[in-house]
Chains A and B, each alone.
Chain A
Amino acid sequence: MKRIKSMTAKRAYPRSYANPVLTLAVAFLMLAATGSARAELLIRITEGANAAIPVAVVPFAESGTMPAGDKIGSIVRSDLTMSGQFNLLAPEKMLSLPSQRSDVYFRDWRMLGQRYLLVGQVSREGDQLRARYELFDVNREQRILGETASAPASRARSLGHHISDKVYEAITGEPGVFSTRLAYVTVAGQGEDIRYRLQVSDVDGKRSKVRLESGEPILSPAWSPDGKKLAYVSFETGKPVIFVHELATGERRKVADFRGLNSAPAWSPDGKSLLMTLSRDGNAEVYKMELASGDLTRLTHHWAIDTEGSWDHSGRGIFFTSDRSGGPQIYHMERLGGEARRITFGGRYNARPRPDANGEYVYYVHQREGEFVIARTHLDNGQESIVTRTGADESPSLSPNGRLLIYATEQDGDSVLSVVSTEGGAAYSLPAAEGEVRDPAWGPITR
């Protein structure tokens, strides 16, 4: 075979020829190739289109009385659009509106430049909604996904998000996050009337529900790994206290009410312990509390502020913020109680680390030219890059698949939660209904 290296590869691929054995093998292949009488051509494609994938989501056919509100097809369309990875064809541009395979003319969709086509129909059977949908690869004229799913009519959105997740996974090879939830805090009113509300909603901001309301600040909501509980800090007793809140029952438990600070809760991957910042020993330090026993282990020992502990992807070490160098910077402790290694060096203010799930990056609040943005540092090479540029950005939280990042910021003077793709590009934002919205926390994928 004849091996022709891509001429379009301007950027060096660091791994490809780094291995001498591989290089030798390639050289041998090339030699063997030129020697053979009938060399077959090989074209190597090393770069793809730097664009969103064109997908057509045909409005689902409906039979029976549908629940009020958004239709299933629209929910899916909206979800896929929000992910930032797809370019949805507007329904008015569609040449036909098929709802099953027999109605699909692939040539039409191909002509429209579409890669994938989603068709479906929803029917109502008593209290249940039944959705039958198919996803086609337009160019291959093949069905790559087909399913019938049902849900109570009251949970039409859940059904829509479920379909979105399935479609997303079929196309990208990764689980979708459309059925996950967000927790955040809103602040409305002023003075005596000020109301702090802990809310939980779908990732699109819909179906929000207040879980706690208080005249005193609520902050730092954190999801348990099973998505059933929230830990947070509430000032309702006049001082910062950590609560664990069972979402299904509304049951709350005070887990940390020590003298001084009780803040920055973060769940361990097994959900059995919480990292927290306490100043019970006189100074803000990071501790680990076993939830069952309440046993505390102090993890940091420094006269500086140590706070915002967060488990790393291995579940064995933690990231945290410390101003031991003079200003806040991100540190990593590979083993609990071990040496802390400084991770961030760009700028004088880097705080609130949020590592991704595969140990590639850590995201954090970063001060840059007087503004606050979200940045990330590659954990292998230490390279820092800016992820958001809105200017008053804080409280970054990653989607479970690591593709999206939600953070609190301001847009045109209004407080919003903004969602961006971690690889760049704005996805969407969730404006506060009134007052302020802050402290978003992206919930886990639950099945």
Chain B
Amino acid sequence: MTGHERESISTGTAPWLSGVAFSVILHGLIAVLALVGWSWSGSTPPEPQPNAISARLVSPEPKPSPVVEEQDREEQRQKERERQKREEERQEAERQRQQEEQARREAERQAEAQKQREAERQRQEAQAKERAEQKAREEEAARKKAEAEAKERERRRQEEERKRQEEARRKAEEEKRRQEEQRRKEEAERKRQAEEEAERKRREAERRLREQQLEALAEKQEQEAREAERRRREAEAARAREAQMLSESQKYQGLIRERLSQAWYPPSSATEDMTARLQITLLPTGELASVKLVNSSGNTAFDNSALGAVRSLSRYPVPDNRDTFERYFRQFTIEFNPERLR
């Protein structure tokens, strides 16, 4: 509580901080507290020493001016010593005065305590009497209450007995019902199991059938896969052969083209618009079997130059591989079409 007070003070406005006002209020408070403290039993914690408080709070003095002349310092110290002495004397007197005051207060307090103890004793007596009366009243009430309780207990017991019998009957019925149920269940279970067994057997049969089918299917699939693989390999081989044939054919196409380009003398009347197409048939030896003009350029000299070129090769460069030859060179078309003249 005091802490609170102090705090409220310390947070108060500036004028309240003035030392004098502060000590006056504190003294007042201490006095009140002392009175209150003494009036109650010693259960309250002892107050902090007012001395210490007063000494701490009162002591602040305005500080001497820090700026002092050198020659004045001894005089200053002398004055200070005298002032201290005076202060000590004043304090001693104050102490004596306080001790006297305290003694006086002590006497008053003891008288007052005596008075209070007397009043206490009377009050306690009255209280004891009251307590005896109260006890009698309570015993009467307790007796009445016990009676009522006994009655109540009897009623409850009967009630419980009735409930118990009721319960036993209900339980017997329940048991009977349960057994009935159990029987039905067992019956159903047996029936179910029989059915399940049949189902299981049927499924088993089915499964076996299916397995057989799957096995057959798997076998078939495997066969098919093998077949597909075989076909794929064959196709791959064929493609490889084809590619080889193609690359070989391209090689020979290039050779034929080169030979024919060297052998072809386009006539001076040839234009880039002229195209003569010839179908030629070769023997596997590369010899020319036949040549047919399938598309005339419209210019006889041009057609003749193409026919002459085709006829001029005594032997066409053809692949040794018979398949490649048959595939590409047995019969093919040659187109003469000058891209840029001269």
A interface vs B, CB < 8 Å?
1, 4, 6-9, 11, 13, 15-16, 40-51, 53, 85, 110, 115, 137-140, 144, 169-174, 403, 423-424
CA distance A34 to B231 in the complex (A): 22
Across the interface, do A45 and B342 meet the contact criterion of CB distance under 8 Å? Answer: no
CA distance A348 to B270 in the complex (A): 35
CA distance A129 to B15 in the complex (A): 164
With A7-B257, A173-B267, A403-B268 given, is the CB distance from A45 to B337 under 8 Å? yes
Across the interface, do A43 and B332 meet the contact criterion of CB distance under 8 Å? Answer: yes
| Residue B333 is within 8 A (CB to CB) of chain A in the complex | yes
Within B112-159, the residues touching A (CB, 8 Å) are: none
| Residue B339 is within 8 A (CB to CB) of chain A in the complex | yes
Across the interface, do B339 and A49 meet the contact criterion of CB distance under 8 Å? Answer: no
CA distance A252 to B75 in the complex (A): 167
| Residue B19 is within 8 A (CB to CB) of chain A in the complex | no
**B286 shortest CB reach to chain A, Å:** 14
B301 CB contact (under 8 Å) in A16, A171, A403 = A171
CA distance A85 to B267 in the complex (A): 9
Q: Which of B260, B268, B337 has the most CB of A within 10 A?
A: B268
17 contacts between A and B (CB under 8 A): A6-B257, A15-B272, A16-B339, A43-B332, A44-B257, A45-B257, A45-B260, A45-B334, A46-B338, A48-B266, A50-B342, A110-B314, A140-B304, A172-B269, A173-B299, A173-B301, A174-B267
Look across to chain A and name the residue whose beta carbon is closest to the beta carbon of B277.
A42
CA distance A196 to B339 in the complex (A): 48
Across the interface, do A41 and B261 meet the contact criterion of CB distance under 8 Å? Answer: no
Among listed B53-61, B86-94, B214-222, B247-255, interface-contacting one: B247-255
Across the interface, do B267 and A45 meet the contact criterion of CB distance under 8 Å? Answer: no
Across the interface, do B312 and A43 meet the contact criterion of CB distance under 8 Å? Answer: no
Within B299-335, the residues touching A (CB, 8 Å) are: 299-302, 304-309, 311-312, 314, 328-329, 331-335
Across the interface, do A40 and B333 meet the contact criterion of CB distance under 8 Å? Answer: yes
Across the interface, do B331 and A40 meet the contact criterion of CB distance under 8 Å? Answer: yes
B260 CB contact (under 8 Å) in A1, A43, A144 = A43
Q: Which residues of B contact A43 (CB under 8 A)?
A: 253, 256-257, 260, 332-335
Q: Which residues of B contact A85 (CB under 8 A)?
A: 268
Across the interface, do B329 and A173 meet the contact criterion of CB distance under 8 Å? Answer: no
| Residue B262 is within 8 A (CB to CB) of chain A in the complex | yes
Look across to chain B and name the residue whose beta carbon is closest to the beta carbon of A6.
B257
Q: Which residues of B contact A174 (CB under 8 A)?
A: 267-269, 301
| Residue B69 is within 8 A (CB to CB) of chain A in the complex | no
Across the interface, do B272 and A173 meet the contact criterion of CB distance under 8 Å? Answer: no
Across the interface, do A137 and B308 meet the contact criterion of CB distance under 8 Å? Answer: yes
**B254 shortest CB reach to chain A, Å:** 6
With A40-B333, A41-B328, A43-B333 given, is the CB distance from A4 to B266 under 8 Å? no
Across the interface, do B333 and A1 meet the contact criterion of CB distance under 8 Å? Answer: yes
Look across to chain A and name the residue whose beta carbon is closest to the beta carbon of B256.
A43
**B236 shortest CB reach to chain A, Å:** 19
| Residue B26 is within 8 A (CB to CB) of chain A in the complex | no
Q: Which residues of A contact B342 (CB under 8 A)?
A: 50, 423-424
Across the interface, do A172 and B261 meet the contact criterion of CB distance under 8 Å? Answer: no
Across the interface, do B249 and A41 meet the contact criterion of CB distance under 8 Å? Answer: yes
Across the interface, do B340 and A48 meet the contact criterion of CB distance under 8 Å? Answer: no
Taking A42-B333, A85-B268, A174-B301 as known contacts, 14 extra A-B pairs with beta carbons closer than 8 A to each other, sorted by chain A number, are: A8-B261, A40-B331, A40-B332, A44-B257, A44-B337, A45-B260, A46-B337, A46-B339, A110-B312, A137-B304, A139-B309, A173-B267, A174-B267, A403-B268
With A41-B249, A45-B261 given, is the CB distance from A11 to B332 under 8 Å? no
Binary contact readout B259-294 vs A (1 if CB under 8 angstroms, 0 otherwise): 011111111111011000000000000000000000
Q: Which residues of B contact A1 (CB under 8 A)?
A: 333
**B307 shortest CB reach to chain A, Å:** 6
| Residue B258 is within 8 A (CB to CB) of chain A in the complex | yes
CA distance A403 to B273 in the complex (A): 19
Look across to chain A and name the residue whose beta carbon is closest to the beta carbon of B312.
A139
Q: Which residues of A contact B337 (CB under 8 A)?
A: 44-46
Across the interface, do A9 and B265 meet the contact criterion of CB distance under 8 Å? Answer: no
Q: Which residues of B contact A115 (CB under 8 A)?
A: 265, 308, 312
Look across to chain B and name the residue whose beta carbon is closest to the beta carbon of A47.
B261
CA distance A4 to B255 in the complex (A): 13
CA distance A173 to B305 in the complex (A): 10
Across the interface, do B304 and A144 meet the contact criterion of CB distance under 8 Å? Answer: yes
Task: Enumerate the 10 nearest inter-chain pairs by beta-carbon distance, A residue then B residue, closest first.
Answer: A173-B301, A173-B269, A139-B311, A41-B332, A13-B339, A46-B339, A48-B264, A48-B266, A172-B267, A53-B265
